[in-house]
Structure 1
């Protein structure tokens, strides 16, 4: 019965582009966020905080998570299962809303993401988090936002930060080198700015470490995007780890967070990544030079 329910969740998520009914099913029985806070009053945007139940020893690593939805849909409360799972892994999880189309197009939602990160940097300590161990993460469209925050310095610079302020970037099924076609055209505006939406175009060796997870049978966003980004980061001397999930589709990393027993490598990779890179960003905003040879490079199917 459990296997059938997980299969049903995966199929519904894939067929619907993460429609809310499937996400409500994934969140059933889970307690609400530990706190909900307005981080961008001018835009009316809020974020939810999820803390480990056991508290943990000392300040916690912080992960700011951005959901997917094709840049045109999504709500932070629908990703309670992600926040709770990360919290169970000993992380202070921050699930942030951002403006979606038609309320805002590119680059507005990336600017919102930068503001959420700035809020976390300034306020994590008050909620048990360590601002020196601040990661960004996202699924699908949210991964595009997270990756741009880690590669294009303009967004964090607006808040006195820089990509190396981040301890790392975690991308789940993300588009990093995609074609702007069809319904995406109005979202991304004039063709002259389309290259600015591609994280691949900004990799220059000054990035925080990356962890990229992708199903190799993803038909919504090709695994090629994660391969190319991992290879580009590595080629410029950075640290990038790539975990390809064999035979898996677009929502596989989310399903794995819903039930780690289905694909334990996803949560395990996130745990190891946050542990290995938690000392890379100092409170001064400069990443500490402590490379992790075991994780450096492109690792397919680890």
Structure 2
């Protein structure tokens, strides 16, 4: 595709995003960004794929490292992909690996077990295991173990929130994260069940029913927002301007609970001009809206 054609598509993206509204349609959004992802910068990055951190086939991770090692240890970003608890692949977020490694981070992209074969809290347990792997291998990765940031988007943000905010899921003997960054996640499955009509969620719900099961009496006990029990640490909560209502509501609810009940002082940010998926697909391609928000926060902590 010519530079002129790519430039023309880039100029149309804002119209495409806004015309589609609060849609979650991976094939559609991927098609918008395919020309840019094919051309994204990858220079100065070394990649190691398919490192096992557990015994399941999904318990593997990829590491993106700055090619220039240097004398000083680097920060590490563990970034967890989404997929509605039932799909998704770490390779779909290779753009995150390229972008943040180019910024000087050792960037780890883990996979994790999916529903319905592996139900709650499998995702949180896997992210905790990947986090523990990163801590144990900090020396050989050239990482400062005190500067490990954990982040995720959508279902990945839900798993990161559970792993970071619920003490029993945190890996034993591992210090808390330097900070956590939650991008358009879901943190209250009980609310999502009770408000399916208002949120436009089908019943049965292929996502939540697969991962959390259909014993709805247990949904409160499986909602991160009801189980926060760790000491405050730096945290960023974001949502996209065109996110579905449930993501926007739960971002606000999590922020309010953390502030009023748990002594946190989290940052919040709306990712303007994007929907649930376009904000992620755009990283390392056509704009810096989400990447800049994450980097600005990390650089303050």
TM-score tier (shorter): 0.7 to 0.9
Q: Per-residue displacement from partner, 1:88-142 (whole Å, max 9, x unpaired)?
A: 2221110000011233111112111111111011112211222111111111000
Is contact 1:12–1:18 with CA below 8 Å preserved after alignment? no
Cα drift, residue 154 of structure 1: 1.0
The residue that corresponds to 1:208 in the other structure is 233
Residue 274 (str. 1) matches residue 281 (str. 2)? no
Answer with 1 or 2: which has the greater Rg. Answer: 2
The residue that corresponds to 2:137 in the other structure is 123
3-state SS in 1 of match to 2:162 = helix
Looking at structure 1, the residues matched to 16 and 94 of structure 2 have their Cα atoms a distance apart, in angstroms, of 15
Say which is worse superposed, 240-249 or 65-74, in terms of deviation: 240-249
The residue that corresponds to 2:283 in the other structure is 257
Residue 76 (str. 1) matches residue 58 (str. 2)? no
Is contact 2:98–2:284 with CA below 8 Å preserved after alignment? no
Change (3 A) 1:220 1:77: farther
Cα drift, residue 247 of structure 1: 5.4
Cα drift, residue 5 of structure 1: 6.3
* Alignment map for 1:45-56 (pairs within 5 Å): 45-55=59-69
Change (3 A) 1:66 1:146: same
Higher relative contact order (CA 8 A, sep 6+): 2
3-state SS in 2 of match to 1:104 = coil
TM-score, L = length of structure 1: 0.79
Residue 170 (str. 1) matches residue 184 (str. 2)? no
TM-score, L = length of structure 2: 0.79
Say which is worse superposed, 37-46 or 119-128, in terms of deviation: 37-46
Structure 1 gap segments, 5+ residues each: 278-302
Change (3 A) 1:149 1:214: same
Residue 90 (str. 1) matches residue 104 (str. 2)? yes
Backbone CA RMSD of aligned residues: 2.9
Say which is worse superposed, 237-246 or 174-183, in terms of deviation: 174-183
Cα drift, residue 9 of structure 1: 8.4
Structure 2 gap segments, 5+ residues each: 1-7, 194-202
The residue that corresponds to 1:3 in the other structure is 10
Is contact 2:100–2:107 with CA below 8 Å preserved after alignment? yes
Is contact 1:150–1:207 with CA below 8 Å preserved after alignment? no
3-state SS in 2 of match to 1:195 = coil
Cα drift, residue 231 of structure 1: 2.3
The residue that corresponds to 1:59 in the other structure is 73
Q: Per-residue displacement from partner, 1:12-36 (whole Å, max 9, x unpaired)?
A: 9975543499289264255596112
* Alignment map for 1:177-256 (pairs within 5 Å): 177-178=188-189, 179-180=192-193, 182-183=205-206, 184-189=208-213, 190-204=215-229, 206-219=231-244, 221-235=246-260, 236-246=262-272, 248-256=274-282
Change (3 A) 1:4 1:15: farther
Looking at structure 2, the residues matched to 50 and 9 of structure 1 have their Cα atoms a distance apart, in angstroms, of 31
Cα drift, residue 232 of structure 1: 2.0
* Alignment map for 1:136-151 (pairs within 5 Å): 136-151=150-165
3-state SS in 2 of match to 1:62 = strand
The residue that corresponds to 1:282 in the other structure is none
Is contact 1:27–1:80 with CA below 8 Å preserved after alignment? no
